[in-house]
Structure 1
Amino acid sequence: MFKIHEIREIIKLIDQSSIKEFELEIEGSKVTIKKSGGVVEEKVQTIVAQAPAAPVAAAPAPAAQAAPVQPAAQPAANTQVPEENLHQILSPMVGTFYSAPEPGASAFVQVGDKVTPNKVVCIVEAMKLFNEIEAEVTGEIVKVLVQDGQLVEYGQPLFLVKPE
């Protein structure tokens, strides 16, 4: 059974994203969230909450597919490398991006750092769970696409890596 604070956290994350519909089922309990109005409905073992719709530039994909990619407001560095030759490290979930293991600590990686497939490059926090994100490739970080503390969406690019 879901706890109310977990449901509130999910609603908050969905409301801040461009996702219009989200569904999660764990151990026989199911939460479905749809953006459209302000009415909250509850059903036996199924909770349906409707959050106010946020303006969306493009029609979002269902939760099982990647959401539309939105460019970061301020990239960390400029580079002359063509982006089609770069590997994107994508967020595997909706959550909050953290570049360091704790406040005040140095970032996992910075522009110019060499990475390997198992190197942790950041943390994405979702529902109080801190998920380490690994580089997936060997190469050099050429661009950080999000800022520390920024909300990220499923499938959103976090880093650009020049593969070796």
Structure 2
Amino acid sequence: MFKVQELREIIKLVDASTIEEFVYENDGAKIKLKKSNGVVTEVVAPKQEVVAQVEQPVSQPVVQAAPQPVQVANEVTVEAPKASVASDESLHKITSPMVGTFYQAPSPDAAPYVKVGDKVSDEKIVCIVEAMKLFNEIEAEVKGEIVEILVKDGQLVEYGQPLFLVKPE
């Protein structure tokens, strides 16, 4: 059976991509996603079918459980990024280029790529965003000093979501 977090991540990845149809089967559970105006998602698990319809942009999907012709609606809220103390417009924002999971270090037992106060060059790797088991290294894009880390290690991030604030040199 799929976890809710896994389903959300898959829906967001397919929604952000150019693919029109996605099918995945594992241990008797099946996910089938098709795009049209919004994203229509069908999840078939043993003795259960779940259908989710998401209007663009992805903000509050409606989930309908249908073992019988009964409909149940649940709201899913997406956490907004916390307001930054240093909301200075002169700061450069390093943003996520994709939907995925944010990691501060190359492995759980390794030191983080950067900490608050570290100096970075434009090609310095500052984090990893993992999407569908692919680990994508994110570069600073600017020379400067890390002022704030806006997300927590292991947190799901959206496309374009600010990850770091950098004071450019």
Instruction: Give the 3-state SS of the residue equivalent to 2:89 in structure 1.
Output: helix
Q: Is residue 121 from structure 1 mapped to residue 117 from structure 2 by the alignment? A: no
| C-alpha distance in 2 between matches for 1:153 and 1:39 | 22
Percent identical residues: 53
- One-letter amino acid of the counterpart of residue 120, structure 2: V
Q: Is residue 156 from structure 1 mapped to residue 161 from structure 2 by the alignment? A: yes
**Contact preservation (8 Å) 1:24, 1:30:** no
Q: Which residue of 2 aligns with 1:60?
A: 57
Q: CA deviation at 1:157?
A: 0.3
**Contact preservation (8 Å) 1:23, 1:30:** no
Q: Is residue 133 from structure 1 mapped to residue 138 from structure 2 by the alignment? A: yes
Q: CA deviation at 1:145?
A: 0.2
Q: Which has the higher contact order (CA 8 A, sep 6+)?
A: 1
Gaps of 5+ in 2: 23-33, 45-49, 59-77
Q: Which residue of 2 aligns with 1:70?
A: 80
Which structure's CA Rg is the greater one?
2
Provide closer, same or farther for how the CA distance between residues 123 and 137 of structure 1 changes in structure 2, counting only shifts above 3 A.
same
Q: Normalised by the size of structure 1, how large is the TM-score?
A: 0.63
Q: Normalised by the size of structure 2, how large is the TM-score?
A: 0.61
Gaps of 5+ in 1: 42-48, 62-67
| C-alpha distance in 2 between matches for 1:93 and 1:10 | 16
Q: CA deviation at 1:71?
A: 1.4
Q: Which residue of 1 aligns with 2:52?
A: 51
Q: Deviations over 1:104-140 (max 9, x none)?
A: 2111000000001100000000000000000000000
**Contact preservation (8 Å) 1:69, 1:157:** no
In the alignment of these two chains, the number of paired residues is: 130
Provide closer, same or farther for how the CA distance between residues 69 and 150 of structure 1 changes in structure 2, counting only shifts above 3 A.
closer
| C-alpha distance in 1 between matches for 2:51 and 2:92 | 36
Q: CA deviation at 1:98?
A: 0.1
- One-letter amino acid of the counterpart of residue 52, structure 2: A
Q: Deviations over 1:36-86 (max 9, x none)?
A: 6x6469xxxxxxx95365xx9xx727xxxxxx993148x7xx55xx52110
